[in-house]
Structure 1
Amino acid sequence: MNGHKDYEFLNIEQRKVMLTYFSSFVRKLPISYITFVYRRSRFEDPARLMERMGRDISSAMIEHLGFFQSFDDVKVYYDNGQDIVKQALDRSVGKVLSKGVVRRRKTSMTDYRLEQVADYLCTIELALVKCEAKENGKTYNKFFGGIGSFKRNWLKQARSKRI
């Protein structure tokens, strides 16, 4: 959205069109997702935050255990952006699912479309958090419009994929 790296030569309208196409692609995928939101400032230290993340991931996986057990393999893709997230994922998934079905892969955003989809869905969820906290900037408004338009269009479409 911000026009960095490969997108720096595209104007906002071109990037908006690409985002709309990608949104359409996501809408057609047979996927489900869940997100968690944390404010680091609300935790005494990183260990408490990681503990909370791990507990939330484990709880969600147990709540939807049948869904996860319906697959022969569960692949955990993480770009190692934040070590605390990687550790919480590794511990939680390892606790809930049999070690034989879990495969871990270090990835790059350009390697896997599903990782791009995950990033898109997290961007939509983060946009809601920022809008509600009145922290959304000009970029969000340019891409999504006001909060009403954002909720009716972008958020509604993304949330139709939530577990």
Structure 2
Amino acid sequence: MSELSIFVDESGEWGKLSEYYLITLVFHVQSTPITTHIEKYERHLTDSALPDIPFHAGPLFNGHDDYEDISFADRKRLFFAFFTLARNLPFRYVTFAHRKSMFDGDKTRFGAQLKRDLADFFLSHLNEFQSYETIKVYYDNGQQIVSNALKASIDYALSKEAVVYRDAQPKDYRLEQAADLMCTIELTALKFNAGEETATDRKMFKDRRDFRKNYLKILRRKQF
């Protein structure tokens, strides 16, 4: 049975804490193995005396949550280790990004835009998506606006009988963690392009040129 998995992550929220809102979808054909890559990554962590913490870019960058007692040098090593894993994993991705100020605080209009983004994408690749007998969508239902947009657009564009939704906790799926990485990379690209990068961005990636050369261009080879 041909099966496609879609892992979803978002960056931002509707309040005033973020300038941008992004949603990233990571696509993995289930018959394509990933175990060897993951085992190599986990072995590298063990050999390097690094903790195997489920990747979460925000806390890793800022030293919060599970990363609280880890030095910046080791957090950067953890980031690069997961970046290397993602670089080697067989997946494709797409990110939709919007500056929230463009919607003048109208959450309904923003939600409609997300639905259009997703529906247009699925319809533009309809032949490929219809070739799968089953499509499993993994999302932690963290934000209702994303859940609503996902279900509305997928149900509109694809056969409801073929789609299965799964509640996915990032700690359980490396590909869900990869979606978090891709979302973070695309957000960082927006900030560097607009001259809005933070001190943490510069500490992690140095400058726009190095970021584009060493990270962005490499991972964008995986764009759908």
Q: Which residue of 2 aligns with 1:133?
A: 194
1:143 aligns with 2:204: yes
Query: How many residues are treated as equivalent by the alignment?
Result: 163
Q: Which residue of 2 aligns with 1:82?
A: 143
1:91-150 Cα shifts (integer Å, max 9, x gaps): 001111111111112222112111100000000000001111222111111111100000
1:49 aligns with 2:110: yes
Q: Which residue of 1 aligns with 2:64?
A: 4
- State the SS of the aligned residue for 1:38: strand
Q: Which residue of 2 aligns with 1:102?
A: 163
- When structure 1 is superposed on structure 2, of 83-92 and 118-127 the one drifting more is 83-92
Q: Structure 1 residue aligned with 2:128, among 56, 67, 91?
A: 67
- When structure 1 is superposed on structure 2, of 125-134 and 38-47 the one drifting more is 38-47
Give the partner amino acid of 2:155: G
1:24 aligns with 2:80: no
The offset of 1:80, in angstroms, is 2.0
The offset of 1:156, in angstroms, is 0.8
Identity %: 43
- When structure 1 is superposed on structure 2, of 70-79 and 142-151 the one drifting more is 70-79
Q: TM-score, normalised by structure 1?
A: 0.94
Q: Which residue of 2 aligns with 1:122?
A: 183
C-alpha distance in 2 between matches for 1:73 and 1:4: 38
Q: Which residue of 1 aligns with 2:222?
A: 161
Q: Structure 2 residue aligned with 1:58, among 103, 119, 142?
A: 119
Gaps of 5+ in 2: 1-60
1:37 aligns with 2:100: no
- When structure 1 is superposed on structure 2, of 69-78 and 1-10 the one drifting more is 69-78
> RMSD over aligned Cα, in angstroms?
1.2
Give the partner amino acid of 2:111: M
The offset of 1:69, in angstroms, is 2.5
Give the partner amino acid of 1:107: A
C-alpha distance in 2 between matches for 1:110 and 1:145: 29
Gaps of 5+ in 1: none
- State the SS of the aligned residue for 2:149: helix
The offset of 1:87, in angstroms, is 0.6
The offset of 1:151, in angstroms, is 0.4
Where relative contact order (Cα < 8 A, 6+ residues apart) is larger, the structure is 2
